[in-house]
């Protein structure tokens, strides 16, 4: 499922290999929990880095806490970041987040780690971390206020983590915009913003409808029926909420969520299967 962890943002110095030459580099990030690196030692190991493989982590960066433990910023951004090995310590490179949001060194980040990806040349192999489990890790030196806030919100992130597989599947098959809308809808739903969640679930259904309309991979009458279903679902969800002059409460938001999730999962798995079969199909082109 996911790993929720809190860690201090630190500055690191390392090196990057360019044309067999090591060049110095500076980056800002957070250290990955030891339990994660131990559990996935086949991926997070010096031999992986030395062999030229690249490792990335897909994460959701949620909140920023200052040294006193106060929430000073809500980032709520999904990002795939490099994992860098430094003296047998594995660091998640969050330099972009650090710069984009002007987060000071020494502040604490709340990070939801969803999956790890190994890149070898043009091939990428991904895996969800801790399937069917929700774990969280907090170092002993964090302020008690941070611990209380994170623990109190863990239920929401646990629910989100259980559904993130669908979000990740959408990204895997190239539907990043739909993936981002689904994530935002889920965040708002579990945060109690039902009106806001309905708007994003409606965007998900609209995006899927456009995909079905344009996708050649969906065959026969299935394409017609899916398009018709998504059009009706879009009309239904559009009748919920303030934009339609009505109120979108929990029952409407839950129905909108379930429609968006179920159709997203089906289409992502269907397209992934089709993409896999196309890669395995040998070319019939003959050289004259």
Could you list the pLDDT tens digit for every one of the 288 residues in the chain? Answer: 689 999 999 999 866 555 555 656 789 999 999 999 999 988 888 777 666 788 999 888 989 999 999 999 988 777 889 999 887 889 999 999 999 999 999 999 999 898 898 888 888 777 878 877 888 899 888 999 999 998 888 777 777 777 777 887 888 788 989 988 998 898 788 778 899 999 999 999 999 999 999 887 787 888 999 999 999 999 999 999 665 566 678 999 999 999 999 999 999 988 888 876 665 555 444 444
Query: In this predicted structure, what is the pLDDT of residue 288?
Result: 44
Taking the CB of residue 285, how many other CB atoms lie within 10 A of it? Answer: 5
Query: In this predicted structure, what is the pLDDT of residue 284?
Result: 47
Query: In this predicted structure, what is the pLDDT of residue 154?
Result: 79
């Amino acid at each position: 499922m996911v790993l929720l962890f809190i860690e201090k943002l630190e500055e690191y110095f390392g090196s990057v290999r360019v044309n067999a030459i090591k060049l110095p580099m500076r980056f800002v990030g957070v250290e990955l929990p030891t339990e994660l690196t131990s559990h996935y030692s086949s991926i997070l190991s010096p031999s992986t880095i030395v062999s030229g493989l690249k490792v990335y982590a897909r994460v959701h960066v949620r909140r920023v806490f200052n040294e006193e433990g106060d929430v000073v910023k809500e980032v709520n951004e999904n990002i795939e970041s490099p994992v860098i090995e430094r003296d047998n310590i594995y660091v998640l490179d969050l330099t972009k987040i650090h710069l984009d949001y002007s987060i000071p060194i020494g502040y604490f980040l709340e990070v939801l780690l969803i999956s790890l990806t190994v890149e070898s040349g043009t091939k990428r192999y991904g895996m969800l971390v801790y399937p069917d489990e929700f774990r969280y890790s907090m170092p002993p030196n964090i302020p008690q206020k941070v611990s209380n806030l994170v623990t109190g919100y863990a239920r929401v992130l646990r629910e989100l983590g259980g559904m993130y597989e669908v979000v990740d599947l959408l990204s895997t098959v190239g539907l990043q915009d739909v993936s981002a809308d689904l994530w935002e809808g889920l965040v708002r739903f579990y945060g109690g913003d039902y009106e806001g969640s309905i708007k994003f679930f409606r965007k998900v259904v609209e995006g899927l409808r456009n995909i079905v309309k344009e996708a050649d991979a969906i065959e026969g009458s299935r394409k017609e029926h899916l398009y018709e279903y998504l059009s009706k679902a879009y009309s239904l969800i559009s009748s919920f909420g303030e934009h339609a002059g009505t109120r979108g409460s929990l029952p409407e938001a839950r129905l909108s969520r379930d429609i968006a999730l179920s159709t997203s999962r089906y289409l992502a798995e269907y397209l992934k299967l089709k993409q896999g079969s196309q890669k395995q199909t040998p070319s019939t082109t003959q050289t004259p």
